[in-house]
Amino acid sequence: MNHKELSFISKLYLILYNVVLCVGWAFVLVGTVKYCWEERPKFGSHVIGLYDAIGPSLRIFQTAAFLEVIHCAIGIVRSNVVLTFFQVSSRLLVLWGVVHSVAGVNATFGLLLILFAWSITEVIRYAFYASSLMFSSVPYILQWSRYTFFYILYPIGVLGELMLVFSALPIVNATGQFSFTLPNLINWAFSYYYFLVLIIFLYIPIFPQLYGHMISQRKKVLGGQKTKAD
Per-residue pLDDT, 161? 96
Confidence (pTM): 0.90
- Report which of 217, 199, 205, 130 is spatially closest to residue 161, judged by C-alpha positions: 199
161 is catalytic: yes
Catalytic option among 154, 192, 194, 203: 154
68 is catalytic: no
Q: Is the dihedral of CA 86, 107, 96, 59 positive or negative?
A: negative
- Report which of 11, 222, 9 is spatially closest to residue 129, judged by C-alpha positions: 11
With 0-12 / 13-18 / 19 or more C-beta atoms within 10 angstroms meaning exposed / middle / buried, residue 27 is middle
Per-residue pLDDT, 1? 46
Catalytic option among 17, 35, 161, 193: 161
- pLDDT tens for each residue of 83-126: 889 889 999 999 999 999 999 999 999 999 999 999 999 999 99
Give yes or no for residue 228 having a pLDDT over 80: no
- pLDDT tens for each residue of 150-206: 999 999 999 999 999 999 999 999 999 999 887 777 778 899 999 999 999 999 998
Cβ-based neighbours of 214, under 8 Å, separated by 6 or more: 147, 150, 154
Judged by average pLDDT, the poorest of 9-13, 57-61, 111-115 is 9-13
